[in-house]
């Protein structure tokens, strides 16, 4: 058994001694240049992937910002219409204290104010949406 182990041991020592052998300066220079090129390629690819991912994220954020702005304009419109409706109801109730032509003029004014307030709310909402 020993007679087989000794040649195997000698071969292993010879094989391993060749692993730590230094390379020529030309070979080292080529290896360094190749390693630098591979590293630069990996960095470039990584930067391109990162930029692509950021572009996609920006598109999503931009879409969400537009949606938010449109929702905000719509909700501001709803609030303005609710205020106009409330003011109209109060004005119409106040008109009840009058009679005849004065009451009719009061109600007409309340309706005109209501229509103006709704038109202003719509115009403000349209401007808000267009600005985005």
Q: What is the pLDDT of residue 14?
A: 56
Counting residues of the chain whose pLDDT is more than 90, the rounded percentage is: 51
Answering whether pTM is above 0.95, one says no
Tokens of residue 105, six digits: 């003029």
Q: What is the pLDDT of residue 15?
A: 59
Q: Measuring CA to CA, which residue among 106, 112, 80, 102 is closest to residue 93?
A: 106
Read off the pLDDT of residues 22-75 as tens digits, 9 standing for 90 and up.
Answer: 788 888 888 888 999 999 999 999 999 999 999 888 888 888 888 888 898 999
Structural contact between residues 95 and 106, judged by C-beta atoms closer than 8 angstroms: yes
Q: What is the pLDDT of residue 24?
A: 85
Read off the pLDDT of residues 103-127 as tens digits, 9 standing for 90 and up.
Answer: 999 999 999 999 999 999 999 988 8
């Amino acid at each position: 058994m020993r007679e087989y182990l000794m040649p195997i041991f000698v071969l292993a020592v010879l094989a391993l001694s060749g692993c730590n052998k230094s390379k020529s300066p030309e070979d080292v220079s080529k290896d360094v240049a190749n390693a630098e090129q591979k590293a630069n390629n990996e960095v470039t690819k990584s930067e391109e992937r990162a930029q692509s991912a950021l572009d996609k994220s920006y598109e999503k954020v931009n879409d969400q910002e537009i949606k938010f702005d449109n929702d905000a304009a719509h909700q501001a419109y709803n609030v303005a219409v609710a205020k106009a409706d409330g003011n109209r109801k109060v004005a119409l109730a106040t008109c009840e204290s009058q009679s005849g032509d004065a009451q009719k003029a009061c109600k007409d004014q309340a309706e005109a104010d209501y229509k103006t307030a709704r038109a202003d709310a719509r115009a403000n909402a349209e401007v808000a949406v267009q600005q985005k």
